[in-house]
Amino acid sequence: MLKRTLLSLTACVVMLLMVAVTGASAQNILLNPGFENGPTVAVPPTDWESFGNAYQEAASTVDYRFVPFAGNNLCSMYGNWSGAYNVSGIFQEFSVVPGDMCMLSSYARHWGGDAMIGSQATGGNWVVQKIAFFNNKKPQPEEIASVESIILDGSFAQDVWHYGVPICALAPAEAVTVQAMILYIQVDADGGAANIDDVYFCINGTVPVQECTWGALKALKEKE
């Protein structure tokens, strides 16, 4: 497992270096990645699968609850108050073949008026970006591998956007689909809402050159 993880990291770093050198970028294959399409105000994000409390919202007019990173809209997520551990989420699914390299990045923010409290380490809520691979098992596909990173919790500064640096994952043997996910995990009925914007996902491509920084590379290396 460690070997595969290191291989995945190496490939990710190589891809980031390539884009830094060439200036190339790849197509974001997500539909409605910035939540700009479709209706707003307490409705699920258009083009995304969603569960729990995840809603497409327009920029606030009376406070700073919803301040999009870009455009006019964002996605707001919060817990379900349905048990000691529950999840709200949004995702999009795509076909893959073993060996495909997937990359995911996003932006997250929480408003001081409804801030998250604590972290996963302290028993609070947290938000992850996650790449998950599934096989073709009938009647229900199984999740066979995943990579995720925390993009927001109560330890993050309030009222500013935080860049979730790209995570990379190599599609393993038997993988037929991949899901690009944002998940809000609620523990013990803690409150706080997470805002998400400009999610980016590509397969066998690279993140936009403006998002490829030495800081991102360093963060990936330190994570290992």
List residues near Ca ion by CB under 5 A: 34, 68, 70-71, 73, 197
Q: How far is the CB of 16 from Ca ion (least distance, A)?
A: 24
**How far apart are CB 135 and Ca ion at their closest, in Å?**
33
**CB of 68 or CB of 79, closer to Ca ion:** 68
**Nearer residue to Ca ion within complex by CB, 71 or 208:** 71
- Nearest approach, Cβ of residue 34 and Ca ion (Å): 4
Say if strands 194-203 and 73-78 run parallel, antiparallel, or are unpaired: antiparallel
Q: How far is the CB of 35 from Ca ion (least distance, A)?
A: 5
Pairing of the two strands 143-153 and 126-134: antiparallel
Q: Identify which of residues 11 and 59 has a Cβ nearer to Ca ion in the complex.
A: 59
Question: In sequence order, what DSSP letters do the residues of 38-88 get, joined into one string?
Answer: S--SSBPPTTSEEESEEEEEEPPSSSSS---SSSSEEEEEE---SSSEEEE
Two tokens at 102? 């997937």
DSSP bridge pairs for 58? 73
Nearer to Ca ion, 73 or 88 (CB): 73
SS3 135: coil
